[in-house]
Amino acid sequence: MRFEVSKVLDAIEARLTTDPALARAVVDLSEIVRYADLDGGRPASSVRLGLVIDALGRYLTEDNVPVYVIAPRGLLSDTDLTSNERMVIRRWADDGKVEVVPVLEDRVFEVAELLGLPVLTRTRGEQFRGRRPWVDEPGRLLAAIAGEGGAPVLVSRVGRGDPAKQPERSPMGERLLARVWQCPESNCTSFGSGGDPDSPFADMRTFTSPVSQPPPAIRAGVPSCPRHGAKLKDAGARPSVEVLSVRIDGVVRKRFVVSTEAPVVVGRAPEGGGGVMLGQWLTEDARKWISRGHAQFSLQPGGGLTVQDVSTNGTGIRPGGSPDDDERITLNRNESRQLAPTDVVELYAGVNVGRSKLWATGGVAQTQSVMGEAPTMALRKFERS
């Protein structure tokens, strides 16, 4: 069972992000690990983060949904977790996959406000209501509770039914995320620059790219490092980004970020790092048609999104998402075109890429679980042994 748990932690790791463009919800890890009623196991278990991530995927009907995880430093020495779990969380923190803060205060709610994300919590955020009135809006606080059949579901803590509108970044969030920030601590994973390139350790740490830096904390009115508490230096304008979705046969499989700094190749199995690999979701015929690297997306400094065909068989564009084949535009090898806001790129029939905001729901009836083959009952047995 130990092996199964480490597989679950690996699957969870792939869903951790502090990238403002990709995160879909914010959680306090120290709260989630104590949801003992979800599996009847030990007082604290990091595997419960997986149960909550699965619940978020079902709530959004979308696969591969990433979460922004914040942990107070004390969790790294919480002996209710196993030493292996503490080690894994420490590594996630060192790699910038989760945000560790000295004390939590209202950082979870701050991130949720700056980024316009729901908080996955069983609290009602009462102590923050004065400063953050949005906690009373339906859908902003979602509690993971045991659903029918045992799998957790998310329910709105306030109000009923679906949220009236998608939350948006706060004006302060927009201002903060327009800049690149630099922490005076030389080893800062979130707001570092990689340190001295001549240092023998220069390549050994993971540093968050300026494009995907998390939101600074506002302390005493100034942008500060949430981990080190230090005042951050404004290091210039942040590269703009566009979030795109891969949608296959009506189902959103993955979101990815294109920035003015880095074009992204989408295909069956793009070579090199940073590409978006579709192979696992394609039918046999689609696999034969779609090239390893098929279409390259790039963002121009002015904000224009362009697609360039880099395939053998060509790339289609459906203007405004039109299903009419007469309107379909074909790009042949190396041809490129700027995409209008609602244009949809077609790599093969039913295999589409477009701006994420085009598709309000993920359309997935049965989302992929991070729990893998580890059934809840077996985990429970492991937890109790």
CB of 164 to Zn ion, least distance (A): 37
Give CA–CA dist 143/307, Å, rounded: 40
CB of 227 to Zn ion, least distance (A): 5
Binding window for Zn ion (CB under 5 A); candidates: 110-118, 169-177, 180-188, 370-378: 180-188
Q: How big is the site for Zn ion, counted in residues (CB under 5 A)?
A: 6
Binding window for Zn ion (CB under 5 A); candidates: 12-20, 85-93, 174-182, 185-193: 185-193
Q: How many CA atoms lie within 13 A of 243 on its CB side?
A: 14
Place of tokens 């690999």: 277
Residue nearer to Zn ion on the CB measure, 156 or 208: 208
For the stretch 5-21, what's the b/e string if a residue is b when 16 or more beta carbons lie within 10 angstroms of its beta carbon? beebbebbeebbbbbbb
Q: Angle 80-78-67 (CA atoms, 0-180°, nearest 5)?
A: 95
Binding window for Zn ion (CB under 5 A); candidates: 94-102, 136-144, 179-187, 268-276: 179-187
Establish if 90 lies at the interface with Zn ion (CB under 5 A).
no
Amino acid (one-letter) located at 331: L
Residue nearer to Zn ion on the CB measure, 188 or 246: 188
Give CA–CA dist 31/52, Å, rounded: 11
Give CA–CA dist 327/193, Å, rounded: 46
Establish if 94 lies at the interface with Zn ion (CB under 5 A).
no
Establish if 183 lies at the interface with Zn ion (CB under 5 A).
yes
| Helices (H), ranges, 42-190 | 47-60, 83-94, 107-115, 171-176
SS3 148: coil
Pick the binder of Zn ion from 38, 71, 225, 305 (CB under 5 A): 225
Contacts of 149 (CB under 8 A, 6+ apart): none
Binding window for Zn ion (CB under 5 A); candidates: 4-12, 138-146, 188-196, 263-271: 188-196
CB of 91 to Zn ion, least distance (A): 18
Establish if 228 lies at the interface with Zn ion (CB under 5 A).
yes
Pick the binder of Zn ion from 27, 38, 114, 188 (CB under 5 A): 188
CB of 230 to Zn ion, least distance (A): 6
Establish if 185 lies at the interface with Zn ion (CB under 5 A).
yes
Residue nearer to Zn ion on the CB measure, 58 or 227: 227
Place of tokens 């002996």: 79
Binding window for Zn ion (CB under 5 A); candidates: 7-15, 85-93, 221-229, 238-246: 221-229
Give CA–CA dist 148/286, Å, rounded: 37
Beta bridge partners, 235, equal: none
| Residues that bind Zn ion in the complex, under the rule CB under 5 A | 183, 185, 188, 225, 227-228
